[in-house]
Amino acid sequence: MVHVVGGGGIGDAGIIAERWAWRLGYRGIAGTDEAGRGALAGPLVAAAVILPARGDVEGLEGLADSKQLSPAARRRLFKRIVTAAVGWSFSCVPPSEIDDGGLQAANMSAMREAVNALDPVPRPGDGGLLPRGDLHLPQWSMVHGDIVCRSIAAASILAKVIRDSLMWHWSLIYPQYGFDSNKGYGTEYHLKALAAYGPSPCHRSSFHGVLQMEMALE
């Protein structure tokens, strides 16, 4: 059975959510999180991770919210997570889909697709169902979940590393925006590049900072 938790150093307190779910009878606990929600360019990436039931997974003692870790630490933990995980997956929503349907819909779509792509395949448990789209699984949304839940922290790291890699590739095509360093977020350098060159195809045209530049170019 898979219990799905979604989030916003993981120590003993960081596996409280999983222990609680195990006591309810769930044995496969998938954590989900996304990266790139507030960026002006690039995709939204969501990841889903099922970690082993035991709390002390070797090599994952440094699990934390991805934003609290250095890029090197995230890459190191990425390798350990995908090796130790019972299952993991990710999903990307392109800028055009974010513009068409809105950020929240894109966020839910990415998380749903990541969970549905998990192997082993999630299936409902014995608890009540909270259907969201076509995802009919017992699930909880947790504030600061990447701090109190190790599977959400793991998903946070996977999503961030995958998205950073995608933005590095975009930086090779559009080097003028500095995507290799700002990852599509609205830094001063990025905003100045938008003013100088206008938006690229990988920018989110519905976002305020990008929309301003498009209006100024008309």
Residue 182, in any domain of the structure: no
Residue-wise DSSP of 193-217: HHHHH---TTB-TTSHHHHHHHHHH
Per residue in 2-39, pLDDT (tens digit) is 555 555 444 444 456 677 777 776 667 788 899 999 99
**Residue 106: inside a domain, yes or no?**
yes
pLDDT of residue 57: 62
pTM of the model: 0.83
Residue 23 belongs to domain spanning: 2-162
Would residue 195 count as lying in a domain?
Answer: no
Instruction: Please give the Cα distance from 180 to 172 (Å, whole number).
Output: 8
**For residue range 75-122, what is the model confidence (pLDDT) as tens digits?**
999 999 999 898 999 999 999 999 999 998 998 889 889 988 888 765
Tell me, yes or no, whether 202 lies in a domain. Answer: no
pLDDT in tens, 166-209: 999 999 999 999 999 999 999 999 999 999 999 999 999 888 66
Please check whether residue 190 lies inside any domain of the structure: no
With respect to residue 179, please indicate whether it lies within any of the assigned structural domains.
no
CATH number at residue 10: 3.30.420.10
Is position 11 within any domain?
yes
- Domains held by the chain: number: 1
Is residue 216, in this structure, part of any structural domain at all?
A: no
Tens-place pLDDT, residues 54-71: 655 666 766 766 777 888
The single-letter code of the amino acid at 48 is A
